[in-house]
Amino acid sequence: MAGAKVDGPAIFREGYELALMLHEQVTRFPRASRHVLGQRIVETAVGLLASLVEANMAARKEPRLEEVSLALEKLRIFVRLARDTQCVDFKKYEAAAVKIDTVGRMLGGWRKWAGGASPVTGGRQR
């Protein structure tokens, strides 16, 4: 899983690895949870990937980045629910949470840049 070859910004690679990780975890969910919670997790992760691609291609990035942010927050909740319902053990939950946080930090930097602030200096670009 680590080191997946994905072209584009680093956030693409991290988002792809997150979706792959979650898909692999969902295949091990108990049957009763796999078709409700598991499906929702996979659909949200795939939607996050699609929104990342759309944001990269869009002239106005902020609305698309808002969609990515929303999908990421949904994933946080769904993954926590999977842990609390014992669909995943704590170690797998922790790995997913770390990956979600990594994507969130990258997304924050992208949103700051798209909003006009330079990620290096923090000042407005001219």
pLDDT digits over 15-67, tens only? 999 999 999 999 999 998 988 999 999 999 999 999 999 998 888 888 889 99
Structure tokens at 76: 């946080």
What top-level class would CATH report for the domain 10-114? mainly alpha
pLDDT in tens, 72-111: 999 999 999 999 999 999 999 999 999 999 999 999 998 8
Domain locations along the chain: 10-114
pTM: 0.81
How many whole angstroms separate alpha carbon 79 and alpha carbon 85?
10
The predicted structure's pLDDT at residue 19: 95
**pLDDT recorded at residue 58:** 86
Residue (of 15, 9, 25) closest to 92 by Cα position: 25
